Structure formats: C-alpha cells, structure tokens
Amino acid sequence: MRPTHLNPFFGDLQSLPGIGPKTLPAYRKLLGVGDTEPARVLDLMLHMPSGVIDRRSRPAVRDAIPGTIVTLTVRVLSHRAPAKGSRAPYRVVCEDDTATLTLVFFNAHTSYLEKQLPVGETRIVSGRLELFNDTAQIVHPDHIVSQAELANLPLIEPVYPLTAGLSAAVLRRSIRAGLKTLSAVAEWIDPPLLSARAWPSFRDALETVHAPSAVDDCEPSGAPWQRLAYDELLSGQLALALLRRQIKTRGGVARAVTGEHVQRIEEALPFSLTLSQQAAISDIRTDLTKDERMLRLLQGDVGAGKTVVAVVAMAMMAEAGLQSAMMAPTEILARQHAATIAKLVEPAGLRVQVLTAREKGAERKTILADLAAGNIDILVGTHALFQAGVDFKSLGLAVIDEQHRFGVHQRLALAGKGDAATEILIMTATPIPRTLVLTYFGDMDVSKLTEKPAGRIPVETRLIPHDRVAEVMDRLAAHVDGGGQAFWVCPLVEEGEMVDAVSAVDRHRVLAERLGDRTALIHGRLSGREKDDIMARFAEGAISVLVATTVIEVGVDVPNASIMVIENAERFGLAQLHQLRGRVGRGAARSTCLLVYGSPLSETAEERLRMMRETEDGFLIAETDLRLRGGGEILGTRQSGSPMSRVAVPEFHADLLAISRKDAQAALAADPDLSSKRGQALRSLLHLFERAEALRLIEAG
C-alpha cells in the first residue's frame, strides 16, 4: 500500500487548473504516459527543463545587444494597427530615454493589446531583441508587466521540451499549480551525504528546479537537479538490490550439468566458437553449478553470436532435466529464434516450440498441455510466455532477449514463473557503455562477447545525399536483377504518427513501379501473421527488396540480403543505425549500407553519420551515442516500469552511480526489511520512482 502522505504526488493531472479532456492528450504524449496509465502530478514534476532563459539583463534600449533576451522599461507612445485586410503585423511604438523600441504582434487582438499597453503608461517588457531597419524590436514579447507587477516577472525561467498543442506558458502554469499541491516527505538520503553535497530536500529540489532563482538551479550540474538524479538512481539501485537478493538467496540449486547435449551441439556447429563465446559459456556453466540463482547479462555487438551461447545454456538445463524459456520483444524475432534454435539443438534431440499471441484455440491448448507435461524442452515466445495459464512442468532457465525492452515488472513476473531456483540469462545486442551498465543492469553479472564469428565480412558504409536517391534506386535494380536482396528502411520517428507509415508506403510505391512484385512493405501496423508471411517470403527469396520501418531493427536474419538503404539516416540515433546495419553482412557476399541523408545536416547528425562510416565497433558507437545524446535514448524509448532515466543524465551524474549502489547495499544490510525510520522513507522513494513492486520481494521473504 502506498503511504497516504504521497497521495498529492499521485493526484490526477486533470485535478490541476487548466488541464481538461481537450489538453490531457497533449500532456500524456509529452510526459510519455501510456494509453492505459493514469497521468499524475508526479509525471509533470519529473518533466525536467531542457534549458533556461535569463531575463536579468536590464539595459537601456540603446545598449541592448541584438539576438539576446532582455528586460526593458519603456513608455508606450502609440499603437499602429495594419490596414484592414493587410497581413502586416500590429506594432506598438515605445521608448526610453535612449532610443525607440517597437513591439511586433501578428494576428493581434487590438482590444487586448490596448489594455496591456495603454498609451502614456510605463511597462516592463521581456523577450528577444532584434534590429529591423536599424530600429530595435521585440516580436511577441514573452512578458509584459506594469511596474506594480514587476515582482511577478520570472527573471530566471526554465525552458521545457514541448509537444503539439501545448505552449510553454500553459505548461509552466500547470507545473506551478502542481508544485502548490505537494507536501514535504521524510528524508531518505543519509545525513552525511546530504550535508556533504549541500542538497536541498526532495520537495525543495522540485520547487527550485521548476521555479529557479539562479541559472544553475535548473541545470543538471546544479544541486537541486543532482539531488533528484541521486534519488532516481538510488531508487533503481535499491530495487535491483532487492531483486538480486531475492534471486540469489532463495532456493538456489546446483545443476547436474553433464555436457552430453552441449558436446553434440558444438560438434555439429559449422563454425568454431570465438574465445569470448567460450568464456561466456564457461561463466554460465560455473553459475549453474553453484547453489545460487544465476542472474547474468550477456552483452554482445550485432552478430557476435549471443544466440549460440543461449542455446548452449538451454542445452545444459536440458541435461539437468529442466525446461527453458526464451522471451523476445517481437513476434517476428520470437519465430526466427525458434527456427534457429530448433536447427541448432536438433543433434541433441531437444524439443522446441513457439508461443505468441497468435497461437489460439486447439493449437494453443496442445502447446500448453505439452509444456505442462514436460514434452517441450525449450519454449520461445513474446511476453505471452509469462501470462497466467502458461505452466511449465519444471522451468529451470529463462532467457530474455533485448532486456531493455522489458522492465523490472516483467523481470519480477518472470522470476515467479518457475520455482524459486529459476536461472535468468538476459541478452542485449545494444552495446552499452560502462556508465550505463551500472545504472540499468546493476543487479547482474556480465559476460561480454567482443569478437565477430570467423568469416564475417565487414559491411562497407557510404553516405549519399538525398538528391542522389535516383542513383541508389538504379544500383538497387541492378543488384536485384543479379539475384541479390536488399532492405530499404524509412524512419519511424514516433509510433502512431501517420506521416512515418506513409513515407514507407510512398517509397514502396515508387520502388514497386520500377521492380514490380519483387518488393514488399512491412511495418508495425500489419498483423503478426502478415509480417511473418512477408518475412518468410523475403527469407525464401520470393521478395527481393523489403521496404520497412524500424520493425526490422532487431534480430531479423536474411543472409542473402547484402544491401541496406537507410533513408533520412540523419533522423536516426547512432545505436539504431548500428542495429539496422547489422541486418546485412550475414552471408558470403560483400555487403553495403547506404545512409541517404537530407541536407543541411546538423553538427550532431554529421558526426553520427561520420562515425557510422568510420567504424563497425558497437561499443565505440555506443560511447559516442552517449556523448551526443545522453543515456535517455540509447536503450530505446521509455516504457512503463522500465529502468530508463527521466532525471539522471549520465554525463552529469555518472559519479553518483557508484555512490547510489553502495548506499542501497548498505541500507539493506543495516535494515533488510526497510522497517526503520530511514527504511520507511526509502519505501516512499520506491513509490515515487515507480519501483514499488520491488517491495513485494521483502514481503515474499
């Protein structure tokens, strides 16, 4: 149960003045709140500024610097309304003792401006000053106040990320209203650390970030933001420590791994395992023979051979007479994994089955009956694997692919599917910088695959300006005529935006006019069966060019496809570009990735594309991505219950990671049930940062 004193933080966003049914969708979109989740005051409070406006500069008009934000005290001289039907703006001419200033308004409401700026009165105006025909002007001033209202003018003003249908002024009003509803909470930070860092309380930190009195009050390096970042990191580390304690201490079993199945599988492999694959397998074997539960992260670059390592782990589990489950983030990937695994384990005679939302009726009943009877050794599927009614006879190992797409909630559900001794292996193909591993995977042991399997030919990457897209299509036509296959990826900026689906549709139409039915289109709006049918035809060679959105980003394996075209490549992040490029270079043919970009390129986009051309090293790419974009997007979009940061920014708060981890471990060592005064405060912290589900682990013992 959530403590009642936290209720104001979890109040409905619509309880705030100015937020109603019409504006709520814009707030939900801005704050990343899912369709089925409540939008709360807390979500608004954790919407952090992206910058700051300093209005403290109060020069005379003559001394104001063009292009800067200034706050000027002027007398109103005259109003100049445009002629009827004219598109010219409304102008208000003002002056001080040094020069004239013109205030410019488009689509103006005359009566409102006459009331705001009465002729002969003194007003304080603030905004960006520009020169027009050698006269100082401010277009649509941000603030206009009388001298009596000067105290209400925010001299230091946070700037926030916005979305369509929501203005900065409206958002700021909502945040101010939200702040007024909040109460103080008991302190959960250790007093010596709080004192050493000179951090404010949680409530005061929120107040200061959103209503700053100095520029650094709402910057990531400032004490208030640092305090909130530490709170978020501490909540994550506390939840992970609780999960690790539960996994490591509850009923671990030493497995009787004979090596019989593994030997047959390894002997049948058409390639030799790399040294890092062998090391990872050795790590897993050691884990399984201990009387503690395994919780291991298998981290490897695109094409590093994680699936083979997972297959060996599942074969070890079968040797011990237990079942394994592999959870993938998409149906396409689950079915592909099932097909790949079935071939690899065939020499050992292991039985593999797939289960997704598509399996229904009699087919589903048969699978579930076989699973419960122990007639399935390895079950592969999506999150449907861990829903009610899916019962294993003896689940010994759970493998999760692309863990960043699943959150702590799913890990907790998964941990409870088998008996207390279920081992967990988590794989990620997104190389993660060291600083982020601690944040998101702090509860795990880590094995890293650093080499590519022997025989992999490097992918050549080229940058092509968009005005040469016709040449790309010419090359593609020749490639297809020669029996080759290719991907053509169009950007999906935000799920659900029609413009992105249409761009893929438009590109497919143009290519289909030229190449006929050798092209196909795949995107997230197709049903699972439609996507699988298209992928099967592409894998068989019946389709030569697959036009896609990023639905094909992870795991799709078609060795004959040797060209990857990424259109509007400047709109993708580095990690995403790297994942997409990894779809080619899997066969014997030399492969090419063509990054088609629109001009002009921003500095950041240019650096991203240059990095892609210069290296295939995913770990180097991830470090660059962290530097260019921060940690928030490297592991994918934020989902409910996922471990993504809303407040902590790795490049500013990396030093707090290790401190928060040690603090969490020390707090649990001193107070395992979080029952002390500080323990109760830490429970509040877990609620505030959506980690309260971890508290169930304490109750579970």
pLDDT tens for 195-223 read 999 999 999 999 999 999 999 999 999 99
CA distance linking residue 210 with residue 49, whole number of Å: 8
Q: What is the DSSP string of 534-590?
A: HHHHHHHTS-SEEEE-GGGSSS---TTEEEEEEETGGGS-HHHHHHHHTTSS-SSS-
Q: E strand or H helix at 319, and its extent? A: helix 306-319
pLDDT surpasses 70 at 247 = no
pLDDT at residue number 46: 94
Kindly compute the dihedral angle of the four CA atoms of residues 412, 413, 416, 417, in this order, to the nearest 10 degrees: -150
CB-CB contact of 485 with 565 (8 Å):
no
What DSSP character marks residue 301? -
pLDDT tens for 73-92 read 999 999 999 988 888 999 99
CATH code: domain 56-153 is 2.40.50.140
pLDDT surpasses 80 at 120 = yes
Q: Pick from 10-19, 356-365, 521-530 the range whose average pLDDT is largest.
A: 10-19
pLDDT at residue number 666: 95
pLDDT surpasses 50 at 497 = no
pLDDT at residue number 658: 82
- Contacts of residue 274, defined as CB under 8 A and 6 or more positions apart, other chains included, come to 304, 305, 449, 451, 452, 453, 454
pLDDT at residue number 494: 38
This prediction's pTM = 0.65
Per-residue confidence at 604, pLDDT binned at 50, 70, 90?
Answer: confident
Q: Do domains 56-153 and 254-449 have the same CATH topology?
A: no
pLDDT surpasses 60 at 312 = yes
Per-residue confidence at 599, pLDDT binned at 50, 70, 90?
Answer: confident
Between residues 622 and 594, the one the model is more confident about: 594
Please state, rounded to an integer, the average pLDDT across all residues of the chain.
Answer: 86
pLDDT surpasses 70 at 439 = no
The region of weakest confidence among 29-33, 597-601, 636-640 is 636-640
pLDDT tens for 653-674 read 878 888 998 999 999 999 999 9
pLDDT at residue number 641: 31
pLDDT surpasses 90 at 184 = yes
pLDDT surpasses 80 at 29 = yes
CA distance linking residue 107 with residue 23, whole number of Å: 23
In this structure, what token pair is assigned to residue 54?
A: 């300093």
Average pLDDT over residues 422-431: 80
Average pLDDT over residues 501-529: 82
pLDDT at residue number 428: 79
CATH code: domain 254-449 is 3.40.50.300
- What 3-state DSSP class applies to 272? coil
Of the candidates 278, 256, 388, 397, which has an alpha carbon nearest to the alpha carbon of residue 326? 397
pLDDT at residue number 399: 92
- What 3-state DSSP class applies to 78? strand
CB-CB contact of 177 with 674 (8 Å):
no
Between residues 455 and 460, the one the model is more confident about: 460
The region of weakest confidence among 22-36, 192-206, 425-439, 545-559 is 425-439
pLDDT tens for 403-413 read 544 455 555 55
CA distance linking residue 277 with residue 451, whole number of Å: 9
Between residues 380 and 409, the one the model is more confident about: 380
- Domain 460-615: top CATH class: alpha beta
pLDDT at residue number 118: 97
pLDDT at residue number 596: 93
Extents of the domains making up the chain: 4-52+160-219, 56-153, 254-449, 460-615
pLDDT at residue number 631: 47
Between residues 214 and 304, the one the model is more confident about: 214
pLDDT tens for 383-392 read 778 777 888 9
Per-residue confidence at 529, pLDDT binned at 50, 70, 90?
Answer: confident
